[in-house]
Amino acid sequence: MSRAAANSVAYDSVRIAEVTLLYGKETVLADRAARQITELLRKEYPNLVTHEISAAEYSRGTLLTFATPSLFGEPRLIKISDLDRASACFTEEFAQTTSQLDGETFFLLQHPGGVSGKAVLRQVRQTAGLIEVNCAKVELSERPNIITREAKRLGVRIAAEPLRQLSSAFTTDLGELFAALEQLAHHAVNCEITLQSVQDLTAGRVETSVFAVIDAALNGDVAQTMILIRHALHTGIDPVFIVAMINRSLRDLARVHGRAEPVQQLAKELGMPPWMVDKVRRRAAKWQRTNLAKVILQATETDMAVKGFAKDPEYALERLLLTVAVRGNI
């Protein structure tokens, strides 16, 4: 086991070390770890002086200048970015500077992962006393664990179902997920995040995700439809809700199919906004009436499937969306 592997810690378990490497492309975790390290050092050394350096735009002698104690002997934190694009000069001088650490000079380095900057990364990982913070990209399957850890840090509890719904609603931006969790924690009742509070916060986001799936299918984009539905199911969006939204969209198509009345008149009759009437009617014009009837029947059968009357409800849902995407031409 390498020294780096032996001293690898999670973003929320950092401690003071003379050399800390934030490694990985999840900038939210790297920023969170960097703030915590800075706070720990300031608590320990109120007169801490900080410097920032880009390893890619390094000027010779800078490290030595910043690492050398001043007349007042303040502890120093040197934050180094762009490690993946470090110059040869930086790599050379970093090795020289860290070979004679004095206990009051601290280095905080950030590398986004990947193959760039291997030489300097090797040099950093050979530094005595190094702590490496894991800032790897958080996969969707890892989101629940991250939420649980953050909830614990915030002093609140979150049960399985609200956790699942929160994870489903924030599938891209980890920063948005953390912000939402902090908001929920602030309004927690008896230190517990409730299902209702999560639903109130995330309902619109889940609907937006489902609408993206249905839009792709109604636009005839088979590949995008399959990608989006598998993503939606993977993140825990309820298939029953998805089928209900598909049924509503198919009913709208049926209501306007073959109708030639003016948009305003039809909108008033159907209780739909004029822009929606126009959009749905353009989509409906691409369907044959018999195919639309056939798909509506399939949607009814799929509704039963996702409510427990089929061995593989997800397959039934994917099959329905595929049929919608090809407008019943199967």
Sheet of strand 49-54: strand arrangement: 8-10, 130-134, 19-23, 105-111, 76-81, 49-54
Element holding 133 (H helix, E strand):
strand 130-134
Beta bridge partners of 106: 77
What pLDDT digit, counting tens, does each position of 127-165 carry? Answer: 888 999 999 988 877 888 999 999 999 999 999 888 888
Q: Tell me how far CA of residue 130 lies from CA of 16, 106, 204, 241, in angstroms.
A: 10, 11, 44, 49
Map tokens 């030489």 to a residue.
Answer: 119
pLDDT higher at 300 or 234: 300
Res 184: pLDDT: 93
User: Residue 284: which of 317, 257, 261, 263 has the closest Cα?
Assistant: 257
Mean of per-residue pLDDT scores for the chain: 89
Query: What SS3 class is residue 77?
Result: strand
pLDDT band at 308 (very low <50, low <70, confident <90, very high): confident
The dihedral over CA atoms of 307, 312, 314, 317, expressed in degrees to the nearest 10, equals -70
